[in-house]
Structure 1
């Protein structure tokens, strides 16, 4: 592999890793929000 190919692969991996981390964080926030909404619906008024 050339240095350019290694750098491009590393850059892509880094980009995908950041994208994955962002997606995981968004999913966790979504699930927390769903849990809060479910709890509010479960409680009697």
Structure 2
């Protein structure tokens, strides 16, 4: 690879490394929302009489 593409690659890596916590937080929030929705479905199923 030439120097120009190495420099561009390094800049992209720095931007990605600076943003990984935000991506991780978004993923964790999405997982939490799915978990809470699942819990709500299970609670509703147990609440209903058979």
- Normalised-by-shorter TM-score class: 0.7 to 0.9
Q: 5+ residue gaps in structure 1?
A: 1-6
Q: Which structure is larger by alpha-carbon Rg, 1 or 2?
A: 2
Question: 2:33 — aligned with what?
Answer: 28
TM-score by length of 2: 0.66
Following superposition, the deviation at residue 13 of structure 1 comes to 3.4
Runs of 4+ deviating beyond 3 Å: 10-13
Aligned residues: 39
Q: 5+ residue gaps in structure 2?
A: 1-12
